[in-house]
Amino acid sequence: MNLLAKLTSSNAPNAVLLIRLMVGSVFLSEGIQKFLFPADIGAGRFAKIGLPSPEFLGPFVGSFEIACGILVLLGLLSRLAVIPLLTIMAVALYSTKLPIILKSGFWKMAHESRTDFSMVMGSLLLLIIGAGAWSLDAWLNKRLASHDRSPATRH
């Protein structure tokens, strides 16, 4: 089995579509908002929390959130798409939630990070089980499997 076939394979139940819709739509929305409201959500927010090069980082992160969010919604290369999203979430948790736990304690941080936690768990689920049967990954995987079984490709 080649790498693309491994990346697109999934035995996930059809209900994983709900997780894809949640993860993909939240990241797509957040990415778009980094461009619509850069002072509050994009570069301005990144500058406020002390991230380097916020004028570059805001649109850079927003672009990844949009592109990967769309891939997750479509279920196309979902396992690859969630890797940058998990990285974005790790930076977000470190830069915005760690200070909260240090200043205000666990329960304040738990409240403030509920969406972050949900997005991380949903992304990890997609990384582990794949996009499911109702996805472009499943369609692509079937095409790859039928191509591998065709007599012309056998040696």
pLDDT tens-digit readout, 57-97: 999 999 999 999 999 999 999 999 999 999 999 999 999 99
**Cα–Cα distance measured from residue 7 to residue 37, given in angstroms and rounded to the nearest whole number:** 35
- 153 belongs to a structural domain: no
- 62 belongs to a structural domain: yes
- 152 belongs to a structural domain: no
- 151 belongs to a structural domain: no
**Cα–Cα distance measured from residue 132 to residue 143, given in angstroms and rounded to the nearest whole number:** 15
Domain count, the chain: 1
Residue 153 confidence (pLDDT): 52
| Domain encompassing residue 62 | 3-145
pLDDT digit string, tens, across residues 32-64: 999 999 999 999 999 999 999 999 999 999 999
In the predicted model, is pLDDT for residue 122 greater than 70?
yes
pTM, two decimals, is 0.91
Residue 1 confidence (pLDDT): 60
The b-or-e profile of 84-96 (16+ CB within 10 A means b, else e) is bbbebbeebbeeb
* Helices of type H across 9-149: 16-36, 43-48, 54-74, 78-92, 98-104, 106-112, 114-129, 136-149
